[in-house]
Amino acid sequence: MRSIKIITTIIASIFIFASCSINDTKESQKPGSSGMTLEILLVANENIYTGETKDFIDSLFKQPQENLNQPEPIFNVVNISSALFNKSDLYKKHRNVIIIDVNSKNENKVFFRRNEWSYPQVVFHFSISKLSELRPLLTKHFQQITDEIYDYERIRIKNTMKKLENTDITRALKQNFGFWITVSNEFQLSVLKDNFAWVRKEAKDYSIGILIYTQPYRDSIVFRENYILNQLDTTMKYNIPGPLDGTYMAIERRVEPTFKQIKLDDRYCIETRGLWRLIGDFMGGPFVNYTFTSPDNEQLIMLTGYVYSPRKPKRDFLMQAESICHSIKFLNK
Do 130 and 180 lie in one domain? The reply is no
Record the pTM: 0.88
Question: In this predicted structure, what is the pLDDT of residue 277?
Answer: 96
Do 42 and 72 lie in one domain? The reply is yes
Of 143, 162, 181, the one marking the end of a domain is 162
Report pLDDT digits (tens) over 70-89: 899 999 999 999 999 999 89
Question: In this predicted structure, what is the pLDDT of residue 332?
Answer: 80
Residues of the chain with pLDDT under 70: 1-28, 333
Residue type, 198: W
Question: In this predicted structure, what is the pLDDT of residue 26?
Answer: 63
Question: In this predicted structure, what is the pLDDT of residue 149?
Answer: 97
Closest Cα partner for 313 from 76, 96, 95, 94?
76
Beta-strand relationship, 267-279 and 188-192: unpaired
Residues contacting 302, CB < 8 A, separation 6+: 211, 212, 213, 214, 228, 231, 232, 235, 289, 290, 291
β-strand partners of 40: 77
Rounded Cα gap, residues 77 and 95, in angstroms: 12
Rounded Cα gap, residues 104 and 128, in angstroms: 8
Of 114, 145, 162, the one marking the end of a domain is 162
Do 106 and 122 lie in one domain? The reply is yes
CATH code of the domain covering residue 240? 3.40.1000.10
Domain enclosing residue 210, as ranges:
166-330
